[in-house]
Copies of this chain bind each other. A is one copy, B any other.
């Protein structure tokens, strides 16, 4: 049993679907982390072949003091397995072990595990409870909060899914210890994002504490995760089903998705593409006359200092524009960009192709 750091707790206020994000160290090892969840005969940990061998035993031992039966489903690792086939394999496993409508699922892993487990929990016997136990910085600050679940379809990422809020999110910072540095940095891209779109003071804080974050100082990480979740919670609380303001969370993502798709998924990490996408989106904001060039420069410097790419791949401007048109059409039938209207404030705006092209041109090489 490892000592825990004092808990941080962020309340996600969504009416009767409200829940807490608990943040701390070695939470996995303490029964108290799982107090107050609904009674069930079965707890089922859903994890993948990379995270499972490192962490599932720790979680399993703890859950055995809460649930009569604890078992583990191990998925293949990677975005390429986030599909209906893997989803059905989860259903097969659950039915095979006689899981009933009270069975509680624990998503132990990064965004892929969280997205597919949340979706499986929504659909198994028309809904069983689930808990997110995100083990990457990216999933702790992003995908585990907000209730978006999905699998990919051959024709597009995250095309098939539902909104399904977890009962709790357990962000255990000790699970980040084995995370490769490249993935930690990719997660920082989403942390950085919350500053320019919603909180200038947090942006200043990240500038000051970036080195501590990069060397995984627990109290710096705890604050970064907490503040990120708070901001995301506030935005999601205003717009649970993404009909409006929630779109600002996609700052940098339209450009980023174009990079990911243009290069082929997996070439750059999602956070890397978002990092570079934020540079382009900030530049576009300047070109639209919405924010000072000085702030765009500060943001670019921070992204660069974090070790994220600030220059995009030379796909050709037309290719970028095409990829973004497809992305935007698929997402909402709209042609607007998330841009900065001030340090700490984002809005949705249409932008002429020429301006977008200039922003891309300037930041590719």
Complex CA gap A239/B159 in Å reads 30
- Known contacts A122-B162, A161-B126, A162-B162; decide if A100 and B150 are in contact (CB<8 Å): no
A contact residues, total (Cβ < 8 Å):
35
Residues from chain B with a CB closer than 8 A to the CB of A344 are none
Q: For A153, list chain B residues within 8 Å (CB).
A: 91-92, 95
- The residue of chain B having its C-beta at the shortest distance from the C-beta of A123 within the complex is B160
A122 to B127, CA, bound (A): 13
Please judge, given known A-B contacts A84-B84, A84-B88, A100-B329, whether A95 and B155 are in contact too, CB under 8 Å.
Answer: yes
Say if the beta carbon of A201 comes within 8 Å of chain B.
no
Smallest Cβ distance from A215 to chain B, in angstroms? 38
Structural contact, B84 and A127, CB atoms closer than 8 A: no
- What residues on B are CB-neighbors of A127 within 8 Å? 162-163, 241
How many copies of this chain does the complex contain? 2
Query: A99-116 CB contact bits vs B (8 Å, 1 = yes)?
Result: 011100000000000000
The answer on a CB contact under 8 Å between A100 and B330 is yes
Interface residues of A in 318-363 (CB under 8 A from B): 329-333
Which B residue's beta carbon lies closest to that of A101? Answer: B332
Distance, CA A354 to CA B27, complexed state (A): 50
Q: Are A150 and B163 neighbours in the complex by a CB distance under 8 Å?
A: no
- Asked if A98 is an interface residue, CB under 8 A from chain B, the answer is yes
Whether A17 is near chain B, meaning CB under 8 Å from some CB there, is no
Q: Considering the chains assembled together, what is the distance between the CA atoms of A149 and B161 in angstroms?
A: 14
1/0 contact trace for A241-280 toward B, CB 8 Å? Answer: 1100000000000000000000000000000000000000
Q: Beyond A126-B150, A241-B127, is A159–B91 a contact (Cβ under 8 Å)?
A: yes
CB closest residue in chain B, given A148: B126
Most chain-B CB neighbours within 10 Å: which of A126, A148, A162, A242?
A126
Chain A residues numbered 81-101 whose CB sits less than 8 Å from any CB in chain B: 84, 88, 91-92, 95-96, 98, 100-101
A152 to chain B, nearest CB (A): 11
Nearest Cβ on chain B to A123's Cβ, whole angstroms: 5
List the B side residues contacting A96 at CB < 8 Å.
155
Contacts of A241 in B (CB 8 A): 126-127
- Of B91, B102, B123, which is within 8 A of A162 by CB? B123
Q: Which of A25-62 contact B (CB under 8 A)?
A: 41
Q: Smallest Cβ distance from A84 to chain B, in angstroms?
A: 6
Please name all residues of chain B whose beta carbon is closer than 8 Å to the beta carbon of A331 when the two chains form the complex. Answer: 101
CA distance A125 to B161 in the complex (A): 6
The digit string for A116-150, where 1 denotes a CB below 8 A from any CB of B, is 00000011111100000000000000000000111
- Report the 9 A-B pairs with minimum CB-CB distance, sorted nearest first: A95-B155, A100-B333, A126-B161, A123-B160, A84-B88, A126-B162, A126-B163, A122-B162, A91-B160
